[in-house]
Structure 1
Amino acid sequence: MNRLKTLLGATALSALAVSGGFSCASAKNRPIPVRVVVVTTFELGKDTGDTPGEYQNWVEKLPLSQEIPAPGTDHDVMHYNPELHVLGIASGEGPEHMASAITALVLDPRFDLKHAYFVLAGIGGVDPKFGTVGSAVWAPRVINGGLSHLIDPREIPKSWPDGFTPVQGSVPDENPRPPLHSVSGDMVYTFNPQLVQWAYGLTKNMTLPDTPGLQASRARYKGYPEALKAPSVMVGDTISGETFWVGEKMNAWAERWVRYWTDNQGTLATTAEEDVAFCQALAAQAKAGRVDPQRALILRTTSNFDMQYPGQSAAELLAEEAHEGSYSAFIPSVEAAYTVGSVVVRELATHWDKYENTIPQPL
């Protein structure tokens, strides 16, 4: 018992024992059971009671009522629901924080995550050619947008569409396309398509809030029919890179980059920072049998457009979107991440007899 108190913390241990999360007799020999890990990237202030970031809704509403110390991580604490056996973390923003948080969690001896599902539920930008703000998008693929060669824009050859080339190439459309996973880096991760379609099938008919603010934001995108639609649940690829870029020209690069690395099978939907690091950390730990990447999902809800509306400059867009709280759909996207994501999390956790050993199939 003393060792468990050291690892878990006396307060959390007491709460778990009282709530029936596991018995004191078995706690000495058994790790804390985890069916689903909810991964978020940031919280604005406290974990409860103030303006929510990505994490707070999960803590308050699922709820994740029990606090577990997480020393050595950016957020210092995790939260747990002992009835559902759902664990929540806030990794910290950026790929470095994400990779270190996932690795620390998977290596933590308090948990056995071999059968756990991982659901990254966070906000992101959206390509107005794909969709609109306030939407929720399940990702079939993550494309690495942070690993490339780059020529200064003032020196790009006139025949090139932009200054980006593969690390393993010297022209934008290097052919044959370099390997997706090589000593030069990891460029694309593909999620279990059956699990993605299952999650989408559970949530595709959900009605998402359509506020006056969302309507005003999207109304400016005349000429972009997908951007003018009401928010909805969708499926589309996400591009992941640490640089928070905005603008029409960068959006054109991102669309091309997604098409290039997916052999024209992918479609740019959302933009985010941490997703490649999330995938890389899980893939590395899977080699040791600690996790199953086939049980991972990414849900990005759209807090802002990634390029300007007609008549606006990229710099003006950046001035609008420079801080998380100022995103045009910040609160609706944070709410949608929980509202949509929790349907999948609850289904997995409450029907564990079905999903512990068998990954869900499309409905």
Structure 2
Amino acid sequence: MKFFSLLALAATAFASPIVSSNNNIQSSTIRPNAIYQPKVFVISMFELERDPWLTSMDFPHNITVPGLSPVYPTIHCDKNFDICQVTIGEGEINAAASVTALGLNPLFDLSKTYFLIAGIAGGEPQYTTIGGVTFAKYAVQVGLEYQFAYEDYHDIHPDWLGGYVPYGTEDQDTYPGNVYGTEVFEVNENLRDRAVELALKANLSRGNDLNHQFRQLYPEAAAKAYPTVSKCDVVTSDNYFSGNVLNDYFSNLTRLMTNGTGEYCSTAQEDNASLEAFTRLDKYGLVDFDRVMVMRTISDFSRPPPTMNAIDYFFNRTDGGIQASLDNLVLAGEPIVKDIVNNWEKVYADGKKYSSKNYVGDIFGTNGGTPDFGKSSFEIA
């Protein structure tokens, strides 16, 4: 009898990954063998963003997961597996591949897990400063555009801000005519606001004397000030960019892509890629997109002060380094992480108190609802 019971168990285990209806076969999303159900996952992009979390928290458990970055193959978890940290690698391809690998790993049930994307970024001086903390509602992928060299467009279109034009258009002020689906993501504003509320109580690092001196080179009040927490939006591009022209253009593009409501204040290389992976995982119940937060702390300004040109600033700036931004990842991010764990049963487990009141998701409405950005119809590229 024991032999046949084992056979039946094995048959069930092998059968469960497949759901079949007529000639349509689909992988099951059931996780019968899941061992870990973290309450929070902190997502870092590279070691400098990872290390403050490993230093601040006790992560005795190390789990190697196939498909993560070959540079960062290990997930770190606390003693109860309530809080875990993963480093996904820099750039859009690394981010998408790593988040997908994590979400599909059968050891984890992430259906109720909260995710905090916690990275450093360049910052717009109109909204933030060195060491500043930003929490986004929108993430805008700015690299999906036509691109022309300056020499090829400036005589014909002297009014253009840079050589970018949205797909399916012939000018810079028209919403894209065709889309890939990853151009804009909107996350849970209610949860974002809770994270900001808690982060505002933190005693943020103000950085060093060089940071303070460099801030004073800017005319903007936000740039001159000590770091604080801001609600504003992130743009994603694999290209590092700097200078007034590109920042002006991407600021305009952010407003265009979000139908006038988004305000670009921080730069990233990964966020839209990570959010696309979460969108696909959410569609099958593997994660809850409503539980995703995007935090970026500012390591440098995305444009030079009036006394410097973009090239000199980018290669020879003297702003004092990125330590304040690294310190503030944990100082600003840990409050929401601990709040989730400490109030899990009463507040966060069912996801109701801080559920979204705004639309959340991509430009296609993949996971339900109607986007409050975009237009009525697109060509899908």
Q: Is the 8 A contact 1:237 1:269 kept in 2?
A: yes
One-letter amino acid of the structure 1 residue matched with residue 93 of structure 2:
E
One-letter amino acid of the structure 2 residue matched with residue 332 of structure 1:
A
- Structure 2 segments unaligned to the other structure (5+ residues): 1-31, 356-381
Could you tell me how far apart the structure 1 residues matched to 2:98 and 2:306 are? 40
Among candidates 43, 50, 54, match of residue 55 of structure 1: 50
- 1:65 Cα deviation from its structure 2 partner: 2.3
Aligned residue number for residue 99 of structure 2? 102
After superposition, where does 1:152-163 map in structure 2 within 5 Å?
152-156=149-153, 157-163=157-163
Q: Secondary structure at the match of 1:111?
A: coil
Q: Secondary structure at the match of 1:227?
A: helix
Among candidates 311, 325, 328, match of residue 333 of structure 1: 325
Among candidates 309, 315, 324, match of residue 311 of structure 2: 315
Q: TM-score, normalised by structure 1?
A: 0.83
Q: Is the 8 A contact 1:205 1:233 kept in 2?
A: no
- 1:184 Cα deviation from its structure 2 partner: 3.1
RMSD over aligned CA atoms reads: 1.8
- 1:95 Cα deviation from its structure 2 partner: 0.8
Aligned residue number for residue 217 of structure 1? 214
- 1:162 Cα deviation from its structure 2 partner: 2.9
After superposition, where does 1:1-363 map in structure 2 within 5 Å?
29-43=33-47, 53-74=48-69, 75-83=72-80, 85-156=82-153, 157-174=157-174, 177-178=175-176, 183-210=179-206, 211-221=208-218, 223-320=219-316, 328-353=320-345, 354-361=347-354
Q: TM-score, normalised by structure 2?
A: 0.79
Q: Deviations over 1:195-250 (max 9, x none)?
A: 111111112233312231320121121x2222111110111101111000111111
- 1:30 Cα deviation from its structure 2 partner: 4.5
Q: Secondary structure at the match of 1:250?
A: helix
- 1:267 Cα deviation from its structure 2 partner: 1.0
Q: Is the 8 A contact 1:320 1:327 kept in 2?
A: no
Could you tell me how far apart the structure 2 residues matched to 1:169 and 1:129 are? 29
Could you tell me how far apart the structure 2 residues matched to 1:84 and 1:341 are? 18
Q: Deviations over 1:305-355 (max 9, x none)?
A: 01111121111112136xxxx974411101100111111111111211021
Q: Is the 8 A contact 1:71 1:77 kept in 2?
A: no
Alignment coverage as a number of residue pairs: 317
Could you tell me how far apart the structure 2 residues matched to 1:96 and 1:217 are? 34
Q: Deviations over 1:110-131 (max 9, x none)?
A: 1000010110001000011211
Could you tell me how far apart the structure 1 residues matched to 2:193 and 2:150 are? 39
Q: Deviations over 1:262-298 (max 9, x none)?
A: 1221111101110100110000111111111110001
Q: Secondary structure at the match of 2:119?
A: strand
Q: Is the 8 A contact 1:84 1:350 kept in 2?
A: no
Q: Is the 8 A contact 2:133 2:230 kept in 1?
A: yes
One-letter amino acid of the structure 2 residue matched with residue 355 of structure 1:
Y
Q: Secondary structure at the match of 2:129?
A: coil
Q: Is the 8 A contact 2:210 2:319 kept in 1?
A: no
**CA shift in 2, pair 1:286/1:327, >3 Å:** farther
Q: Secondary structure at the match of 2:122?
A: strand
**CA shift in 2, pair 1:327/1:288, >3 Å:** farther
Q: Tell me which moved more, 159-168 or 278-287.
A: 159-168
